[in-house]
Structure 1
Amino acid sequence: MSMIGEYLRITAVELGQVIQDLDWALDFAQEVQDAEEEADLLPAEARHLSTSKTWDMLGFLLTRADFPVDVIHGEEPFAEDEDWGYGPPRYLRPERVRLAARELRATTYDQLVDGVNPADLTKADVYPLAGAYPLGWDEPGALQWGRHWYDGLTQFFDAAAAANDAMLVWLD
């Protein structure tokens, strides 16, 4: 079983509903995922985004860069007793989404990986460990594996910020 980073753009009205009704929130997230699953939308067009298994790698890189928003796990809990796969979902308010979008745009992937050695990922037990990445962290090109996902995350947050959306974040 894999751990996948999941994101859902939601309006301010939907955020209010999410916080008050956890069953509705989970059903809504699943409906959006199902509706978009085969649509092959660009990240800027989608309401749902997955960072696949790169979530921990991206988290490691963003933490190392002192990123001001926790875009990997979310910041505000609303369902501490709920489990949406691997722990409870969290959310980012629209102002935090805007800050994250601005900072993601200003931080290139090359800046994130500058000075990082693949051994750093192994030492930090960054998921997925060797074997889950097709070649392992110590293989050539391992650091580039997250580039596509980071670019998509940046586009997704840009679109959410432009729409003044909040964001649900969870690991599934």
Structure 2
Amino acid sequence: MGMTVVARELDSEQLASLLADPSIANDLILDEDEDEDEDEDGSDGWLDLDKAWHGVHFLLTGAAWGTDNPLGGAVLGGREVGEDDGYGPPRLLEPDLVREVAEALGVVTDAELRARFDPEEMQRLDIYPQIWEESDILDEYLLPNVQQLRAFYVRAAAHDAAVLIVVQ
């Protein structure tokens, strides 16, 4: 088990429902009927970063928790909505912020991400799940998750969608 991050694209109707009743946030993210068709790569409006979420955030920001810029918002950004089911409440990025994140993800290069990869610093900062010294972890785990994150946000921005994120 452990902490994972999942995100869901919300269309305008779902966003309006969430804004009218924030208590439905966890229901939206955990909708089992839609979960059955979930693709990990975000091609159907869902994204599962598994346990890579914190390492991905570190690669994007160079920090453990900062969300001061659009890259920081990709995994840990947005405003809190709904109930806390254990690891904090879900977070909502409205369409304008989704576009900013997508744009920022579109310009950050793999070379920049590789330059930020520092297993010793990640261990020192207690970046979850503390597996960063394993061989090929960057190429086999982190960069593929960044690519899925990028594709997810580009798709959501193209649909003028909001994004709902939860750590579970």
TM (norm. structure 1) is: 0.83
1:116-135 → structure 2 map (5 Å cutoff): 116-129=117-130
2:7 aligned with 1:7, yes or no?
Answer: yes
Matched-pair identity in %: 29
Q: 1:141 aligns with which of 136, 143, 147?
A: 136
Structure 1 residues 27, 139: closer, same or farther in 2, change over 3 A? closer
2:50 aligned with 1:26, yes or no?
Answer: no
Could you list the runs of 4 or more consecutive aligned residues of structure 1 that deviate by over 4 angstroms after TM superposition? none
Structure 1 residues 127, 105: closer, same or farther in 2, change over 3 A? same
Query: What RMSD over aligned residues (CA atoms) do the two structures have, in Å?
Result: 2.2
Distance in 2 separating the partners of 1:78 and 1:115: 31
- Whether the 8 Å CA contact 2:25–2:90 is kept in 1: the answer is no
Structure 2: state its 5+ residue gaps.
none
Structure 1 residues 27, 42: closer, same or farther in 2, change over 3 A? closer
- Whether the 8 Å CA contact 2:49–2:145 is kept in 1: the answer is yes
Distance in 2 separating the partners of 1:150 and 1:107: 10
Question: How far apart are 1:85 and its partner, in Å?
Answer: 3.9
2:151 aligned with 1:155, yes or no?
Answer: yes
Greater fraction helix: 2
1:20-169 → structure 2 map (5 Å cutoff): 20-31=20-31, 34-37=33-36, 39=37, 41=39, 43-64=41-62, 68-69=69-70, 70-79=73-82, 82-129=83-130, 136-144=131-139, 145-169=141-165
Structure 1: state its 5+ residue gaps.
130-135
CA deviations on 1:14-63 (whole Å, 9 max, x unpaired) are: 212112223433223222x54243x3647353122110001110111112
Task: State which drifts further: 69-78 or 97-106.
Answer: 69-78
Paired residues, what number? 162
Question: How far apart are 1:108 and its partner, in Å?
Answer: 2.4
